[in-house]
């Protein structure tokens, strides 16, 4: 009954409440079904646990399946813990489950850590009830396969056999030092002693930080962008906001996809001039919504650059299935078929990206006929020029002039003018909006701006006046 409750609880938690967390973990790895990929993992301590963790994480691509596998892993943790405890203390088997569940609220905790813990406890379950020389022989092997979490095994054996068995702790420490000196000199000693692949950020450690509401809301918004669930993004934005450029990027992209940006943009929090597109920031997540916006605008080169930088910012050195696919798509749209082959060959060795990679045809006829790639090939810039984030409003304008059917580029162009407070340019381009925007009447957001101009900002209920006041106060600080 206890195991069933653990399994059901874990499954519902991840599948119903936190599917976006599963997507977040899956998008920062690309598990390859090759012998080389396995060999690459097992050449470092903890490599088997890391490989098994990534094996499970690849199934997060299908949310219910990922949640099910996580539930089974936690059930295994509860069962092996219960097996090691005296029967009257069976209820304590929930303690490691709850602690690890809470620890995984840290988004940088890799699944290799809970996998290694389960393997260490399982090893203690199968060892003899009294000391044998197998205890000595098993430690170097266990250390190499599951990493420093093997200390959990030693602790359990000490509790089983008494403190006389504690000398094996010195033996394990010696094994780690020998491994560092002979096989792992390129790694910091601290990592060799504490784990090379339990945490995404090198030389940092998991913290019992729990599930930060704002951080997970941003992860959810990016997850909804990835799955093009625009209505849900707008709905959530009306209920809860996170005052960051990342959040503004996601919401504005959703509004643009619904053709509501001109009407409702300033009904929501706007972070400033970076509310549509963020500048290049080399970290794990910041540029993802901007890259998605670039892609849908037809700014294919910028989308590729942002996705490439994001992938190179993965601190544990892994590839990203999501980024690799989008980089390949950008190359296809640009007609760079030879360079796309490398990305496609990687994806063909994965499980869930393979079918897409195999259906790709490396020729203009296939790309031009594709409903997405063919459209983007028409929307993209036809001439080369230098990218300048400081003049991104002009870049949106050039993109629209290149193809006047690109309504999203027009919306982003005018929106960027308003974010910068460039009212003369806004007024100058209202004729273009009326001629090419496809609106039956002037959008409500633009009407509000015109009213602010006429009343010199003295409009208490104006969303745009509120934004201008916010930016003015910020600049004074």
pLDDT bucket at 139, cuts 50 / 70 / 90: very high
Give the model's pLDDT for residue 25: 97
| pLDDT, average across residues 337-351 | 97
Contact call for residues 236 and 254 (beta carbons, < 8 A): no
pLDDT bucket at 138, cuts 50 / 70 / 90: very high
Give the model's pLDDT for residue 450: 93
The model's pLDDT over 188-210, given as tens digits with 9 standing for 90+, comes to 999 999 999 999 998 888 878 88
Tell me: pLDDT of 130 over 80.
Answer: no
pLDDT bucket at 456, cuts 50 / 70 / 90: confident
Burial label for 425, CB within 10 Å (0-12, 13-18, 19+), is: middle
The pLDDT > 70 percentage for the chain reads 100
Give the model's pLDDT for residue 162: 83
Q: Give the residue with greater pLDDT, 207 vs 97.
A: 97
| pLDDT, average across residues 309-326 | 94
pTM of the model: 0.94
Of the candidates 307, 328, 312, 298, the one whose C-alpha atom is nearest the C-alpha of residue 413 is 298
Contact call for residues 84 and 36 (beta carbons, < 8 A): no
């Amino acid at each position: 009954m206890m195991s069933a409750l653990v399994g059901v609880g874990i499954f519902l938690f991840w599948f119903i409440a936190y599917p976006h967390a599963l997507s977040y973990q899956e998008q920062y790895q690309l598990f390859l079904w090759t012998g080389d990929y396995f060999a690459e993992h097992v050449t470092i301590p903890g490599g088997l646990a890391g490989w098994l963790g990534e094996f499970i994480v690849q199934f997060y691509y299908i949310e219910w399946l990922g949640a099910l596998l996580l539930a089974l892993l936690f059930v295994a943790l509860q069962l092996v813990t219960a097996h090691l405890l005296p029967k009257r203390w069976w209820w304590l088997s929930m303690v490691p489950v709850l602690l690890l569940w809470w620890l995984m609220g840290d988004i940088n905790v890799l699944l290799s850590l809970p996998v290694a813990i389960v393997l260490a406890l399982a090893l203690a379950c199968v060892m003899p009830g009294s000391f044998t020389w197998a205890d000595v022989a098993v430690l170097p092997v266990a250390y190499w396969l599951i990493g420093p979490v093997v200390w959990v095994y030693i602790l359990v054996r000490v509790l089983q056999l008494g403190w006389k068995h504690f000398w094996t702790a010195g033996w394990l420490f010696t094994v780690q030092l020998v491994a560092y000196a002979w096989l792992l000199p390129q790694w910091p000693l601290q990592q060799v002693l504490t784990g090379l692949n339990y945490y995404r950020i090198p030389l940092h450690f998991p913290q019992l930080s729990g599930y930060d509401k704002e951080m997970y809301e941003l992860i959810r918004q990016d997850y909804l962008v990835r799955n093009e669930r625009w209505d849900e993004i707008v709905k959530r934005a009306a209920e809860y906001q996170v005052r960051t450029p990342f959040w503004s990027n996601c919401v504005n992209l959703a509004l643009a996809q619904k053709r509501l940006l001109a009407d409702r943009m300033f009904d929501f929090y706007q972070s400033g001039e970076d509310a549509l597109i963020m500048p290049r920031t080399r970290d794990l997540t910041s540029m993802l919504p901007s890259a998605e916006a670039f892609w849908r605008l037809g700014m294919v080169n910028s989308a590729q650059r942002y996705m490439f930088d994001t992938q190179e910012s993965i601190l544990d050195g892994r590839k990203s299935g999501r980024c690799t696919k989008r980089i390949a798509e950008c190359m296809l749209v640009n007609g760079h078929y030879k360079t796309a082959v490398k990305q496609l060959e990687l994806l063909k060795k994965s499980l869930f990206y393979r079918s897409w990679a195999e259906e790709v045809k490396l020729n203009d006829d296939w790309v031009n006929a594709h409903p997405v790639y063919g459209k983007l090939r028409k929307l993209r810039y036809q001439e080369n020029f230098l990218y300048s984030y400081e003049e991104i409003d002009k870049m949106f304008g050039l993109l629209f002039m290149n193809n006047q059917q690109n309504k999203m580029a027009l919306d982003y162009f005018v929106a960027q003018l308003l974010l910068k407070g460039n009212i003369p340019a806004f007024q100058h381009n209202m004729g273009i909006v009326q001629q090419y925007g496809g609106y039956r009447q002037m959008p409500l957001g633009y009407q509000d701006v015109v009213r602010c101009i006429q009343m010199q900002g003295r409009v208490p209920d104006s969303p745009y006046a509120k934004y201008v006041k916010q930016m003015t106060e910020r600049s004074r600080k």
